[in-house]
Structure 1
Amino acid sequence: MPHIKDESQRQRTTTKGDERASAILNAAEAQLTAGGYDSITIASLTGAVGLTRAAFYFYFANKAEVIATLVARTVSALHTSIDELRGSDDDRPMDTIRELLQRTKQMWLEHGPVMRAAVDLSPTVPEVDASWRSAADAVTVTTAHLLRGAGLPDTPRPDGAAALARALVLMSERSFYHASAGGAAELDDAAATAEIVWSLVFQGSKPGAGAA
């Protein structure tokens, strides 16, 4: 399990070595793209950024912490994108869903190797799991709100808005996960299929709801 530095250590990295830490993360993302998680070593990272092994340990405890931090950086960008959609026109929830799916698709297109690594490593690296779950939870909260506004019940039952939102978010995640290995065309198809499924759920909401 990666060693996560305390806040004072994180602050020191931010003030004294943010560019080098960022360079390590960028190298890790490039190597994830080129060869996958198993291809990354501390030697490959230090070689890519011109650091000694001792200098590397000033920023990260091990390879797993690098990937956990890289996932957290990617998730932070996804959170920003999701937050921008909050407060969208609740009278047309499918417009918000379409935009959310397009933004998510773009994240998978730009950072697919990192996001696939997050899914793959979540069962064994708690820090990765926490970051990735936070992103899924944020999307679920946003979409559950839209489903409730469209007339689905606000209950803990399997037919409630929260349960359906969670299932749809997980479905979309797996669709994008598999499609991202195939490039832009497959991601476009995954987003289109997810949109159809979401639309069907909104169409099945109570009469008089605001589904688009």
Structure 2
Amino acid sequence: MSGHHTPSRRAAQSKGDLRERAILDTCEALLTDKGYDAVTVGDIAQGAGITRGALYFYFGSKQEVVTALVARTVEHLWERSRSTARADVPRQAIATAMRRTVELWNEHGPVMRTAIDLSLTVPEIGNLWNQTADLFIEAIAAVLEHAGVEPGDEPKQASAMARALCWMIERNFYHASQESRESLQNTSDTCEHIWLISSGLS
């Protein structure tokens, strides 16, 4: 008997997943076009081809939609963070990390900026963003240690330096991503240079 129910559950889940993805994709496009404050639940529902009532079946508010969108985006960040930490050659690891970070900001800049803007006032987004920062700090520290920087949390040690580098990169990318892709790339090159100097590689 359970065999009869499984396919229908899977079909419903699949349909729900597609609708949820449409809601999140629409929200991201609207953040790009209008910004968080100007976007309404009605805008998101209309763009996703559903009614407001149907949207509320999946999300309770605009803030919940954006939180889910941030969660989806930071998953990509986490994947890149893990791959950075596994790299063997520090110089190559740094170049790869910066290239992938530029790609993500080019693809999802409005979502990342919205996450930063809301991180102090929306606890769920703040937690997601801080978890993401912690993973990047850990990955940066691993690269620094691999390059010969002493482990630890004192000012000249790897974890403290990684924390400063992480937040420096975040703030610089936040501003540069609003200007142009060229500005973002130039900013990335500068941050990469500072990371290399910090690692004793430049």
Same-fold call, TM cutoff 0.5: yes
Q: Is the counterpart of residue 156 in structure 1 residue 150 in structure 2? A: no
Contact 2:81–2:136 at 8 Å: present in 1 too?
yes
Contact 2:85–2:140 at 8 Å: present in 1 too?
no
The residue that corresponds to 2:113 in the other structure is 116
1:82-109 Cα distance to aligned partner (Å, 9 max, x none)? 22233211xx312101110110011001
The letter of the residue matching 1:125 is V
Contact 1:180–1:186 at 8 Å: present in 2 too?
yes
From the superposition, tell whether residues 105 and 131 of structure 1 become closer, same or farther in structure 2 (CA, over 3 Å).
Answer: same
The residue that corresponds to 1:126 in the other structure is 123
User: Which runs of 4 or more aligned residues in structure 1 lie more than 6 Å from their structure 2 counterparts after TM superposition?
Assistant: none
From the superposition, tell whether residues 12 and 86 of structure 1 become closer, same or farther in structure 2 (CA, over 3 Å).
Answer: farther
Residue 191 of structure 1 deviates from its aligned partner by: 0.6
From the superposition, tell whether residues 18 and 195 of structure 1 become closer, same or farther in structure 2 (CA, over 3 Å).
Answer: same
TM-score scaled by length of structure 2: 0.90
Write the mapping of 1:1-212 to structure 2, written as runs, cut at 5 A.
14-89=13-88, 92-203=89-200, 211=201
Aligned length: 193
Give the aligned CA root-mean-square deviation in angstroms. Answer: 1.8
Partners of 1:138 and 1:155 lie apart in 2 by 16
TM-score scaled by length of structure 1: 0.86
The letter of the residue matching 1:30 is A
Contact 2:85–2:143 at 8 Å: present in 1 too?
no
Partners of 2:153 and 2:170 lie apart in 1 by 22
Structure 2: which 5+ residue stretches go unaligned? 1-9
Partners of 2:42 and 2:87 lie apart in 1 by 46
The residue that corresponds to 1:4 in the other structure is none
Residue 155 of structure 1 deviates from its aligned partner by: 2.1
Partners of 2:153 and 2:163 lie apart in 1 by 12
Partners of 2:72 and 2:136 lie apart in 1 by 17
From the superposition, tell whether residues 14 and 180 of structure 1 become closer, same or farther in structure 2 (CA, over 3 Å).
Answer: farther
Partners of 2:14 and 2:125 lie apart in 1 by 24
Partners of 1:107 and 1:98 lie apart in 2 by 14
1:113-172 Cα distance to aligned partner (Å, 9 max, x none)? 000001000000111111111221111111101112222222221221101001001000
For 1:68, what is the secondary structure of its paired residue?
helix
For 1:39, what is the secondary structure of its paired residue?
coil
